[in-house]
Amino acid sequence: MRMLSKVPEGEIKRKLKEMLNDRRYEHSLSVQCMARGLAKIHGADEEKASLAGLVHDCAKWMSPFQSFRAAKRYRINLDFIERKQPGILHATIGGELAFDLFGIDDPEILNAIKSHTIGRSQMSLMDKILYVSDYAEPLREYTGAAKVRKLADGNIDIAMLEAIEQKIRHLLTKRYLIHPRTIAARNEILRKLRFSSNRVM
Q: Which residues bind Fe ion (CB under 5 A)?
A: 57, 134
Nearer to Fe ion, 43 or 98 (CB): 98
- Minimum CB separation of residue 60 from Fe ion in Å reads 6
Rounded Cα distance, 174 and 45, in Å: 36
- Minimum CB separation of residue 192 from Fe ion in Å reads 25
Rounded Cα distance, 87 and 46, in Å: 28
Nearer to Fe ion, 64 or 191 (CB): 64
Nearer to Fe ion, 170 or 194 (CB): 170
Nearer to Fe ion, 4 or 112 (CB): 112
- Minimum CB separation of residue 91 from Fe ion in Å reads 6
Which ranges of the chain would DSSP assign to H, the alpha helix? 9-19, 22-42, 46-55, 64-73, 80-84, 89-102, 107-114, 125-136, 145-154, 156-174, 180-190
- Minimum CB separation of residue 198 from Fe ion in Å reads 32
Contact 44, 3 (CB under 8 A): no
